[in-house]
Structure formats: structure tokens, C-alpha cells
Chain A
């Protein structure tokens, strides 16, 4: 594991994780998904979390997103300890501060693109207009389409719009291109990059595709439940420059 990033303290840490471990009991086998992970994420960063399957990257994302609780260690969100939060507080945390983008989009099939976003903006505190969010992801002309009428890439862009519409402080993307072809995947990454750049949302992209790392400010690699690499890119590539 490498040392703390040298710019710590210069930027605000949105998330501070210290000594985080997660042990699952799979039947009678104990699985250590995370082992004493300590890491910080800073405002406006676009971080790519790399790792093979079983490296613990999803577990980390789930704990960061308030979907799971660690076995050990602490997680602070703006200095507030989230590992001690109640179920209701975790719900409120997800509602206000976290934007999720799933691998399989998880749109509500009975709601149009616009309504899928309104579903979130209706319960958020100071969201952007749902239409504005759709325009941001380039789907201003597909507002009233239902998920079944949209391509996979379009659905994922709706999902991104849904995630960012509430202006979250943290955007968590779990294998956002995992279910998409190359071209469409790139298009989606462009949207994520744009959101990060234009809105300044701290963005975590989980992937097993190392080629995507090029678009990040910072690349964190996980292996066997530990951070094996934490580096900064000298320059971010645009998604269109990525090749895989």
C-alpha cells in the first residue's frame, strides 16, 4: 500500500476511511472482503477504483454508499461518522448525498425517462430540474420515452441523470459500462466525466477495466481486500481517447 496522497489537507476530504474491514460468513466459510483499508477522497476528484472480481471494490463501494456496514473501522463523511449511523440516517445519507449509477441501470420500467428523474428530484432538497439533468446527459429529446424504448446506453445516461439530479456530493458508479458495448460505454463515460467536470461532483467509478483509469484524477487499485495502489494521473484523458 502506498502512502497518503501528498495533497491531503490542501483539498477537503469528502470521505475519510480508516482501518475498514469487512468479513462475510458465506455458509461456514469466512471471507475477508476488506482488510484494514484506509483512504480519503477529496472534493471534485474523479477516482477510478480498479480491481479484479473478488478484490473487494464492490464491498467498499457498498459501505461508502451506506448499503452495508463494516465489520471493523470507521467511515467519515465530512467528518461525520457514518459507521455509527442508524438505518434512518443511512437512508437520509443516500437520499441527500449519494448518487448511484448501477451496472444494469435499474430504471423503473413504468416511468418515463423524465419521471425516473422526478422520482428522485421530488424527494431531494435542492435538486436541479429533471429536464436540465436529462439535457446534461444529452437526452433532452427523449424525455418522455419509457425505458423499454431506450437503448442500453441511453438507459444508463438516464440513470446518470437520475443520480446527479439531486446534486449529490458523491457519485458512485458501479461498473457503469459493464453491460454496454465499446462505443456506448465510451459515451456513458463521457457523460460521467462531463458531470464531474461541470458540476464538480466527487465521482467514484468502479471497474475491472484498467483502460478506463486513464480518465481519472486518481486511480486506486484493490486486491484481496487491500489497497494495492493509489496514484494520481498527471493528466486526465478524455473518454474518447481511451482504448480497450
Chain B
């Protein structure tokens, strides 16, 4: 190694604390970029692979009941590649070990697996059903795992009013249920909802559906228009109680995955950018200081004949070495982080195979960006070193010139102690550096705030959804609309304290050229068990006339309060009605349209019906009620609010804890790196002054105050700024992460700010202590002899 290389290595060794801090910031940036990019790519690739291999359909349609020969008609629609018809039914399950009833979605599959079918099954464990064994089912993996069931176990279901014993023979997964969630719910409840694949023949006979189907899916030929096919399907199946055909973008599971991938994409851009910016800043201030302290050495090197390029490269080394170290560490950390994140995704999403692809392309890109940032940060300082003429470099740097500043007004001056004036003047002298330091520390604060914001938002979501909006214990959803008489029988069940019915009617909403498949919820009231609460926890009244749309739905339809929309009822009499938009409500979850049930009945033009009931029940009589529900005919699904909440909390806890942990650690690295480097540079600039003060009789505490007070002040200024940036960032996140599925409310808990405050103050204190230890080592004698 040449001598300049040796010099570089030894000095890096001497500056290792600062260099490590820079390397850590680079490592954080790279690891986020690499892990998130890998995760995004892995999710996309896994989804792609899964969809292709198991022939996930492109268009879906649910009907009441349609003759099987339509399958042939559909396959003749231009653009349709292959068609699959099925029978799908939601039933009540009696799961061993579970008090309350669970919901099972039965999906028919051919008895013989001879021809490829759409939305095919991946058998994870056990086997496929055998022909001639109507009791056999393949059950979904999450449900089996959550309930501790294995192939060979039995489970009973109420199918079409008859209790039937099902034998689980296999554990399966399907591309349709990567995100497995009960119809009508948003959060998975693995214990109480499962998908079951059962012989078509068995289901046909159990549901009296011979020669008919109620679910159709198809794939499109390359280049075919989804819109056209959807239109043809809607025309063809209108009279069969079609709920309207839709593409993948409205398929719930696909929608969730697509949103997730989009959200990961947002994180790829934002966090690494912050870390790169901080790395640029740190390298800039550190290198400037190195060049300043080595003026003499630069002069000597040049006098000895080293070229400007050699000197320049030597000083660039101070930027490139920590960047290289950070790149290596960041890549390794990123690979590990990506794998851990994929493991979390594996809990959320049920892929047949969730493959983790670690792409060197991402590594190369992030390393390239980091080196670019490092060079950018180092450029100014290194240029200074290169341009310094040797003779000038021999002379000491011109003395620092201070002039009276704004803080020197006599009235102010009396109130500020002399040591405090030293701190303030230093900040005043280089306002840009101070401002940037404040900004960098505030970014750490902002990351903490934004990181915990998602936590707060989800908490608020849970509070609004589970506590304010819903006050029922159980929701019972029927497979078919029920006449009012059924209401009385439910209300009279022993243990039902309060009951409320609603009607959910599938319609197509049309406004101009905009149209949307949507169900309208007809409520009896919005003051009872279900309330209408917006994302700011404001309660909204149910309008007596017209329809109340969620803001997102109103946006999709391009309507506002006072406009009218056309409702095309998809079932029953298939009425078409113009209806007034009575208002909008900014809800957290999904897209909804609300109406008074009386108004809905009138518009539907039938005698009135309901298809679900909210119940508040007496806890002590719950198990009796549950067994009643398990045997009740016509019940499609049962949702337990409390269980749903618990399951959601459990699910969210792990991922939130992990992401909060990652973000908190990264923010700590950021804060530490900025404060520590700031203090180290101050120490290097002011060692002589501080030692003189020690000689003059100041205590360690007094000079520590002068040295660290500056960093403390910067940190204190950074806190409120960080809060503001954090709030702004969270607002951006709330927009970026929101979708048709949910909108994150912009809420912050006091704990969020307190947490950010504590973390940053603590990290600053630790970095300050690390620097303070160096004050102890200052040589009092040396300072008397040397001139800076």
C-alpha cells in the first residue's frame, strides 16, 4: 500500500467513531432500499408465479343460479380464453374446540382432477378429495393452522339447513384467497373463517343445484378487453340474479396484495432518500473539518510533489471508505431484513410459495446511489483541499471572525450567561450548518413520528370500527333475504338483548359515464347497534331520504351532496331508480352506501326484506345462542366483533412491533450519527479553547456545558421541527397508503410525540456522553504550547 493509503487508514482508525456513524447511516439507507425492493419484487414475482401456475381468473361473477349450459355460451364470448363454473356457498361451521360458530366458504371442485381448472388448488398437506366421497373436503391452510386441525379431522357444517359431517383430507391454498377474509369483513379471522373445497357433485345435491352454478370465473385471451367481456356477462346473466361481473382489481384478495405492493413501493423511495440526505450532510461536515485540520499536511504533501489529483483522491477516501463499509453492512442487513419481512408477509398472505428474491440489481443501484451521495457530500471539502495553494496552506487558517449578532442587543445580553453566549455565537456564525444540523436531527424525529403514526392510525381505525361504529356482539348474515317474520324469531331467542336488522342490496351505481358495482346497506337507524362514524370519530345521522355515500365512493362516481345517482338493482325486480345523494361520510374502511331501510325497500319495489342482523347478547347465555346459530338454517356467516378485534390485534401486533422496532433503530442511528458527529467536530474545533478554559479554572461540567450545550440546543430546536415534519410526513403517508380498501385517519397519540422526544433526547445524551469522555482526555499542558 502506498503511503497516502497508510495515512488514510490510520486516520480513519483515529476517526473511527465518526466514520462508523457515517457508515451506519449509509447502511440504514441501503438496507431499507435493498430489503424493500427485494420484498416488492418478491411479492410481485410470487404473485405472478402463483397466479400463472394455478390459473387465477381474470374476471369473476356471482349469480343466484344459472343453468350450466351457459358455460358454453360464455366461452364463445370473444376474448374469453377459458371458463370455470362453480357452486359457492357460505355455511355455518361447528369447529371442535370453538364455542362460537365459524363460517365456512364451500367451493365446488371437480371430483376428477383431469383437466386444468381455474383458481386451482395447491395441496400443501394431505390429498385431494376422492371421487364418490361427498364428505371429503380440502380446507384452507390458515384456518386449519389457527384451529390446530390436520387432515383426518372432522368438522360439521349446516348446509342448506342440514347438519353434515365433513372430513378434512387435505390442506390447501388457492390464488383466490391469498388474503383470506370473511365476506363483509376487512380483517382476517383465521379461526372463524375458512375456505373448503368440496366435490361439485356433493354440493350440487346438498344445495339442490344440479345442472346449475352460482359462481363463474374466466381468463381472458391476450389483448382481450375486460370491459367488453364484463358487459357481455352482465347482459347474459341479468335475469339470473347476477351481482355484476368484475375484474381482478375488484377481487378482494388481489386488491389487498396490490395495495400492499404499492405501499412497499412508497417506502422504497422515502426512507432511503432521507438516509442519503443525512449521509451527504455528514460527509460534508466531517470532510470539511478533516481538510481544515490538515491544512499544513496538505501543504506539505503538495510541496513534496503530490499532485492535486492524488491529494484529492486521498481526501475522497475519507468519504468512500465509510460508504463502502456501509454498503457492505447495508447489503447484508438488507438481505436479512428482507427475509424477516417476507416471513411476516407469509403470516398475512397465503401464497403457495412465497419466494424471497434477493436481487443484486437492487444492491448495485443502492450502492451506486450511496457512492453518488458520498461524492456529492465530499465534493465541496475535497475541492477546497485540491485548490489550496501550498504556500497558503502553510499558514494557519485565517482567524474565525465573530461580529456582534442579533443576540448582542444589550437588553438580551444581560440575560444570557457568557458560556451561553459562546454557544449562541457559534450557531450564529454558521447559521446554515446549524440549520442543516437541526433539519437532520428533525428528520430522525420525523421518522419516529411517522413510524408510530401508522400504529396510531391503526389503533384509531380499530377504535372507530370496533368501539364506536359497531356496538353489536354478533352479526348474523343470511344466505338469502329473509322476510320480516324471521326477525321476530331471532329477536325472541333466549339471550338476545338488542337486535337490529339491515338489508344489503347489490346495485350498480351510475352517474354519467361512471359506474360502480356496490351494495347498499339499508339501516333501521344509525343510533343503535351500528352507527355511522367518520374517520375523525364524528357521528353522522342517517338521512331519511336519499343515499349517504362514503367520500371515496362519491369521488369514484364523481358526485357530491345534492346530486343524483342512478341505482340499478341487480336482483329481485331489477328496478332502476334515480336517487338523491343526501350526503357523504368519510369512513375509514371500504366503500359503502347507506340508506334508511324503508327507503331501500321502497326503491327495490318489493315488500321488504333483510339479510343480516346485528345482535347484542347476554354474555352468560352466549354458548346457548351460539349452538342455536350453529343449527340455524339459512345462516351464511356469523361474525363475532370481539373475536374479530382480537384476531386483528394479534395479527397487527407482530408486524407493527417489527416495523416500529426497525424504524426506531434507524431513527436512533440517524440521531446518534448527527449529534455525535456534530459534537466531535465542535470538540475538534474548540478543543484548544475548552482546554484554555480548564486551565483558567473552569470545571469539567462548565466546559461540557459549552461543548455539548450547542448540540443540546440543536436537538431541542429539532424536536418541534421534527414534530411538524413528522406530521407532514404522516399526512403524506396517510394519503399514499390509503386506497379504496381503507383510509388511514390522520391521528397522533400524545405517546407518539413523547416517544419520539424520549428517544431523540436519550440518543443525543448518549452521543454527548461519548464525546464528553474525550474532554477528560484533553491535555492541559499541550494547549499552552501549541498554536492552532
Q: Which of B471-526 contact A (CB under 8 A)?
A: none
- Chain A proximity of B365: nearest CB distance (Å): 44
Q: How far is the CA of A112 from the CA of B419 in the complex (A)?
A: 12
In the complex, what residues of A have CB within 8 A of residue B426's CB?
110
A115 touches B698 (CB 8 A): no
* Residues of chain B within 8 A of A109, CB atoms compared: 399-400, 402, 689
A128 to chain B, nearest CB (A): 16
B431 to chain A: closest CB distance in Å?
A: 14
User: Quick one: closest B residue to A101, CB to CB?
Assistant: B784
Query: Would A148 and B399 count as touching, CB distance under 8 A?
Result: yes
A119 CA to B403 CA, complexed, in Å: 18
Asked, given contacts A108-B689, A110-B426, whether A65 binds B400 with beta carbons under 8 Å apart, the answer is no
Distance A205 CA – B538 CA, assembled complex (angstroms) = 81
Total chain B interface residues with beta-carbon distance under 8 A: 33
- In-complex Cβ contact of A96 among B403, B693, B697 (8 A): B697
Interface status of A132 (Cβ within 8 A of chain B): no
A122 touches B695 (CB 8 A): no
Contact of A147 with B696 at beta-carbon distance under 8 Å, contacts A62-B781, A103-B785, A106-B689 already known: no
Indicate if B665 sits at the interface (CB-CB under 8 A). Answer: no
- Name the one of B401, B419, B693 contacting A146, with C-beta atoms under 8 angstroms: B401
Interchain CA distance A147-B402 in the complex, whole Å: 8
**In the complex the two chains form, is B425's CB within 8 Å of A103's CB?**
no
Tell me the smallest distance from the CB of B704 to a CB of chain A, in Å. 13
Interface assignment of B780: CB less than 8 Å from any CB of chain A: yes
- Contact: B695 with A110, CB < 8 Å? no
Q: How far is the CA of A149 from the CA of B694 in the complex (A)?
A: 25
Least CB distance from B54 to A in Å reads: 71
Query: A123 with B425: in contact, given A62-B781, A179-B787 (CB under 8 Å)?
Result: no
- Any B CB within 8 A of the CB of A94: yes
Contacting A110 at CB < 8 Å: which of B422, B783, B784? B422
B752-788 with Cβ < 8 A to chain A: 780-781, 783-787
Contact of B702 among A123, A148, A174 (CB under 8 A): A123
Q: Contact: B696 with A100, CB < 8 Å?
A: yes
Is the C-beta of A37 less than 8 angstroms from some C-beta in chain B? no
Interchain nearest-CB distance for A150 vs B (Å) = 10
**B contacts with A: majority SS:** helix
Taking a contact as CB atoms under 8 Å apart, the answer to whether A102 and B402 are in contact is no
Question: Which residues in window 95-117 of A have CB below 8 A to B?
Answer: 95-96, 98, 100, 102-104, 106, 108-112, 115
Instruction: Give, as a whole number of angstroms, the nearest-CB distance from A229 to chain B.
Output: 24
Residues in chain A near residue B692, CB distance under 8 A: 102, 106, 108
Would you call A94 and B696 a contact (CB within 8 A)? yes
Question: For residues 43 through 85 of chain A, which have their beta carbon under 8 Å from a beta carbon of chain B?
Answer: 58, 62, 65, 67-68
Distance between B765 CB and nearest chain A CB, rounded to angstroms: 23
Candidates B419, B421, B699, B786; contact of A91 at CB < 8 Å = B699
Interchain nearest-CB distance for B162 vs A (Å): 90
What's the count of A-B pairs with C-beta under 8 Å?
Answer: 96
B688 adjacent to chain A (CB < 8 Å)? yes
Q: Note all chain B residues with C-beta closer than 8 A to A106.
A: 688-689, 692, 695, 783-784
* B114 located at the interface, meaning its Cβ lies under 8 Å from any Cβ of chain A in the complex: no
Assess whether B339 is interfacial by the CB under 8 Å rule: no
Instruction: State whether A119 touches B404 (Cβ < 8 A).
Output: no
Q: How far is the CA of A87 from the CA of B693 in the complex (A)?
A: 15
Alpha-carbon separation in the docked complex, A122 to B781 (Å): 24
State whether the Cβ of B417 lies closer than 8 Å to any Cβ in chain A. Answer: yes
Query: Are the C-beta atoms of B422 and A108 separated by less than 8 Å?
Result: yes
Known contacts: A67-B780, A102-B784, A122-B418. The answer to whether A91 contacts B697 by CB under 8 A is yes
**Cβ–Cβ contact A174 & B418, under 8 A:** no
Q: Which residues of chain A from 114 to 141 have any CB-CB distance to chain B below 8 Å in the complex?
A: 115, 118-120, 122-123
Q: How far is the CA of A147 from the CA of B688 in the complex (A)?
A: 15
- Is residue B65 within 8 Å, beta carbon to beta carbon, of the partner chain? no
Cα A176 to Cα B784 in complex, Å, equals 11
Interface status of A162 (Cβ within 8 A of chain B)? yes
CB contacts under 8 Å to A, within B672-717, are 688-689, 692-700, 702
B781 with A67: CB separation less than 8 A: yes
A168 to B417, CA, bound (A): 22
A148–B400 CB distance below 8 A: yes
Complexed CA–CA distance, A64 and B422 (Å): 29
Q: In the complex the two chains form, is A174's CB within 8 Å of B784's CB?
A: yes
Spell out A's residues near B (CB within 8 Å): 58, 62, 65, 67-68, 88, 91-96, 98, 100, 102-104, 106, 108-112, 115, 118-120, 122-123, 144, 146-149, 162-163, 174, 179
- Of the A-B pairs whose beta carbons lie under 8 Å apart in the complex, a sample of 17, sorted by A's number, is A58-B784, A62-B780, A67-B695, A92-B697, A95-B696, A96-B697, A102-B783, A106-B695, A108-B422, A108-B689, A108-B692, A109-B400, A110-B421, A111-B421, A115-B418, A115-B421, A122-B418
Where the two chains meet, the residues of B that have a C-beta atom closer than 8 Å to any C-beta of A are 399-404, 417-419, 421-422, 425-426, 429, 688-689, 692-700, 702, 780-781, 783-787
Listed from nearest, the 4 A-B pairs whose CB atoms lie closest are A95-B697, A106-B692, A110-B425, A94-B697
Query: Beyond the given A92-B697, A119-B419, could you list 5 further A-B residue pairs with CB under 8 A, ordered by the A residue number?
Result: A67-B781, A95-B696, A115-B418, A123-B702, A146-B401
